[in-house]
Structure 1
Amino acid sequence: MNTIGYFEIQSSDPAREIRFYETVFSWKFIKEEYVPIEYYRIETNGINGGLLKRPAAIPPTACGTNAYVCSVMVENFDKTAESILKNGGIVALPKFAIPGRCWQGYFIDQDNNTFGIFEVDANAQ
């Protein structure tokens, strides 16, 4: 109880975001036919989630977020960051050390959704 058990991503162009997250993180997307909106179940190697057709306007950039931001644990921060940028993502907050714990950074996908990545590294300084 009282732990994060599911996440959702909103998208004005679900096919584009599906390609992005499949390519960068190897997530699997399954279209849900029984729900009354365009919705895809997301299977990861951790917490699973969903992607839905955005029901409102895309939020503007440079305004911060008004939702929880999820960070994905990755094996190699720099390699993943390169893939994010190559696939249309942009840097929101560059890589920084959380000393003794990890390397962290934040990015924005092509629909202005903010997400983080981190690489566990006890030697991060």
Structure 2
Amino acid sequence: MPGHGTINYVELPSRDLAATRRFFEQAFGWRFVEYGPEYLAIEGAGLDGGFYASSLAARSEAGSALVVLYSDALEQTLAGVVEAGGEVIKPIFEFPGGRRFHFLAPGGSEFAVWSEPAA
């Protein structure tokens, strides 16, 4: 049972649910459950959630929350994102806690991936 007051579920917009599903399956190994033609529940991503069909997209520059994934092999993950059809919008950069990059998934929403500082 979820803890009281904890973040339990996140829902994200997608302009193209089929492309979003293919991308996250290929790039990150996520699984999905379809709930009709306008909703995909996410499984195996570390936090429960889903994608809903929308003409809008989540972008941090517009004030949207940014979903940040973790990788223990940042360059390899970036290559997998590109190979799966993601668009890198901020190449790998350093920040006080490590390194990260930002990308757009095929459904139009922005995500980031971070890793520990380079050794």
Q: TM tier, shorter chain?
A: 0.7 to 0.9
Could you tell me which runs of 5 or more consecutive residues in structure 2 were left unpaired when the two chains were aligned.
Answer: none
Higher RCO (CA < 8 A, seq sep 6+): 2
Q: Does 1:117 align with 2:113?
A: yes
The residue that corresponds to 2:51 in the other structure is: 51
What CA deviation, in whole Å up to 9, does each residue of 1:62-95 have, x standing for no partner?
Answer: x923321110011211111001111221112111
Whole-Å separation in 1 of the counterparts to 2:29 and 2:8: 20
Aligned-residue identity in percent: 26
Give the counterpart of 2:104 among 83, 101, 108. 108
Number of residue-to-residue matches in the alignment: 115
Give the counterpart of 1:85 among 82, 85, 98. 82
In the superposition, the TM-score normalised over structure 1's length comes to: 0.78
RMSD of aligned alpha carbons: 2.2
Describe the shift of the 1:23–1:64 C-alpha distance in structure 2 as closer, same or farther (beyond 3 A): same
Describe the shift of the 1:105–1:50 C-alpha distance in structure 2 as closer, same or farther (beyond 3 A): same
Whether the 8 Å contact between 1:58 and 1:111 is mirrored in structure 2 is no
Could you tell me which runs of 5 or more consecutive residues in structure 1 were left unpaired when the two chains were aligned.
Answer: none
In the superposition, the TM-score normalised over structure 2's length comes to: 0.82
